[in-house]
Every structure is written in C-alpha cells, then in structure tokens.
A and B are shown apart, each in its own frame.
Chain A
C-alpha cells in the first residue's frame, strides 16, 4: 500500500489544542510521525524577562490554559525560596485547595474529554458542564474563571470569601456523586474497553527514556512517584492521601487512575478545609516598597509541583533586579509531546492517534510556551 502523509492538527478535531503531528500512514498504521509544535509559541520565557516580578503574575497562568494554577504556584515557590520568605500558614492551605480544585477541574475535563477521541460526545458534554461549576467557585474566590492570578509570591492574593467553604463542600459532594455516572457511561462500556485495554502501552523503559511523569509514570513503574509525595510542598505532608500506581500502563489504566486521583483530590480538599486555620494572615510581602520595585535576591532555583499531567517545573534565575533574569519552564508533557510523538506514536493505528495524545496527556501550550 502507498504511504500517505497526513496532518493530525493543528485544526484537527482530534487534536486538543493548537498542536500538530505529521504522520506517514500506510493503510491505517502510522509508519513515522513528527510533532510540529510552536503554533502556540509566544516566547513566554523572553516576555517574563521584560516584566516586573509582580507583573509576571498576569503572564504566568497563561502558559498552560488547561490548568493555570500550578504555574502560579511554582513561580511563587521559586521566589519564596530565593527571597527566603515564610508563607503564612493559612495561605498554604488555601493554595492547596486552589491547586486541588484546579486538578479536579483538569481531570474532570479529561475524563469527560476522553469521549471525544472515541466518539462518546455525551461524556464530553457532561464533563465540561460539571467543570464549569468548579469555575464558578474559582470566580468567587479569585475573580476570574480561568486565569486566576491568585497564588502570588508570598501567599495568596486575597482571603477566601465568606462561606465559600460550604459551597466547595457541596460541590465536592455533587462531583463525587457524578463520578460513578461517568464511570458507567465511559469506563464500563465494553466498546470503550475494547478500544483502550491493552492499547497504547507505556512500558517502564519508555517512561525513563523520555522522562514521562505523572499518571503515565505511576501507572508504569509501580511506584507512588508524585511530587506531592516525594518532595511535598504547601502542606501536602499534613494530609492523608494515596495515589494509584501499577506496573502495567495501557490507555484504560491511565484513564482509570484519573478517577482515583479525583477521589483523592476531593479528599485532600475536604481535609484542607477542615485543617486550615480559620483566620490569620494570608500573604507575606516579598520585598520592600511598591510592587514596581520589588526585587528578589540573586540566585538560581528550580521548583516543581505536580500538575494533573506530571512534574511542572520552573528554573528561576534572578540577578537581584526588578525583573527575573531568566525563567525556564518545564512543561509536564514536554517529553511525551515531542519525543514521544516521534518515537512511540508510530506503530499505532490512526484511529488511536487522537487517543494517544489524550491519554498521554499532551498539552500544547505548556510545550510551546
């Protein structure tokens, strides 16, 4: 059969985001493939060098639109390390609530969105609609639906509004009730299982070769490798949670793990609301003076958090000035999105290309930056 060249993306409905993969296809099998990133490249790292430490607050969350909060967190953490700032206790817990809500929203979109590549649109409609309820909570807390700019260096930007805890708890109950319905619709469906079981494998060697992290890694290497566990930040060392892990990573397992992680996120939020100090300061100043002249002591530091897709890290370099000297971003899906597409997408059928992107957790904006 003739080899045909096909473009998966950037405007392909099977592609999440403005990303592209070139595939050379023979019959239905992909022979070669290449990632074509850069459609969302905005030069963030350069722009960040041109804005004040505080002004970057507007830029930071925009690096990854699906889950912006880990960006804010990792940026804040870096500055706090460089400037040796003690974050107030309450702020730590608020941050955890925000981060877990964001993870919940991202995972909800993901378990709903898994319907799109396999044609089960009902779950997409459900997932996104339920996620919207979380965005409502975000709007109440932070003042914006998507780009929150809430976790700031030194703490959080504002205290929680009154009575939001009850609303969050109610929402968690609702989502907890909805999860089995999603599971019935998607995961227990024999057709879905036929498509995803023993398909799109991620062996342990590949994990180490590429540097895949997150659910993909945990499901393959049979260890609870999660930044929240390995090097806890905020107050993750003071809540109880356990993450799923296993030795065999196929598409089904990876989606299945997301359900378990969501249950864990819900549990973490509940614990946080319970353990959080009821009042107290929520923000420490990072430097003297007006925000126009905030400076961060010189140094270099790498900080990372666990996003819904894995290790999210910033390398922050300060020369002591009013603006960062250099920030390098490690998007969590960088390895699988670029090298994974090149090396491990070939061999799959084109039917599975979109599913591959989805279950591997390829997120375009954080790769392109």
Chain B
C-alpha cells in the first residue's frame, strides 16, 4: 500500500475525498462527490493515469442510487484508481468525461444503454449500441428480470421425453 499512500495523500490535499479503500496494494477506491469528479480525473490524467480502463455503473437499488465507477490506470506505476460517484436513481444524469478521456464515449453509451444513465455533452451516448429494438427498461437495472422477459419473448421447449422411466426396483 506504500506506493498508493503517497498518491492518496496528494489527492486528499487537493480534493474532498469521502472515503478511501484499498482493495489491494496497487489499487485505490476513491469515493468522491460528483462535483469534483471531473477535476479529479483531469488531475489524475496529468499525473500519469493516461488510460481509462473501464467506466461502469452499479445499481444499488436498496439505497436508490446508481454508482458510477471510473477506473483509470497508470501504466508506469501499475496503479488502478477507481473513482466512484453516486447519482440518484430517478432521472440519473451526469456530465460526460469525453473531453478528458475521449475513449469514454462508448463506455458512456454502454452505460446509458444498460442503466439508462444520461451523459450530458455526449450526444452519441443516447443511441442504442448492443441492443436492437429494445422496448423494456434498461436491462442491467436490478429490477429488470431477464428470465421473465426471456420466457415471454422466447418460448422454451417443452420436451416429450422418449425414455420410459426404467423400472428397476432398488431393494
């Protein structure tokens, strides 16, 4: 954790960090207010975290929030920073980070498609990507039941078994 401690110290001095978690020695989770996320990411990018590894969301349906996770990576130190922000679950919207990490464009589109989170400033993100003619709520939301959907849309096979259950009485 030594390698990340300095980094966290530095970030703490500049930003209000709500919480810091170290899942392993080369990884830091930073909970941050959504006001500060963009400045944090800009700072991190200038600090060597040049790659956006992943942008995704978690649906905490019990707390009625969406959590966005931005994972940035510094190839020189091998440190992943997971910056997390929370959004209300009803009418979730956030600002895009494409000006900082252009590669986020499709991740945002992905998150929009699967969670329904809107990213202002990224018009591309409103278009469908993986799904075609989707007519339900965004499928990765926790209250979406894929099995029910599947049953309704894609009927299952009902077998007419060939085998006669073999009668071999076990004493």
Contact = CB atoms under 8 A, between A and B. Distances in A.
> Are A and B direct contacts in the complex by CB distance below 8 Å?
yes
Interface of A: 37-38, 41, 43, 45-47, 49-50, 81-82, 208-211, 213, 223, 225, 230-231, 299-302, 304, 311, 313, 315, 317, 325-326, 328, 330, 334-335, 338-339, 368-369
Interface stretch (B32-40, B74-82, B162-170): B74-82
Contacts of B78: 230-231
A43 B101 CA distance: 26
Contacts of A368: 130
B117 interface: no
Contact of B140 (A46, A315, A334, A339): A46
B146 A315 contact: no
Nearest to A208: B50
Contacts of B139: 43, 46
B27 A302 contact: yes
Contacts of A334: 106-107
A317 B54 CA distance: 14
Contacts of B26: 231
Contact of B103 (A304, A335, A369): A335
Contact of A46 (B73, B106, B146): B146
A308 to B, nearest CB: 18
B75 A225 contact: yes
A260 B80 CA distance: 28
9 contacts: A46-B140, A50-B147, A211-B103, A300-B23, A300-B58, A302-B82, A315-B82, A326-B59, A338-B129
B120 interface: no
Interface in B125-166: 129-132, 139-140, 142, 144, 146-147
B122 interface: no
A46 B27 CA distance: 25
A130 B29 CA distance: 44
Interface string B1-36: 000000000000000000001011011010000000
Contact of B58 (A43, A82, A213, A317): A317
A91 B50 CA distance: 34
A339 B139 CA distance: 23
B6 to A, nearest CB: 17
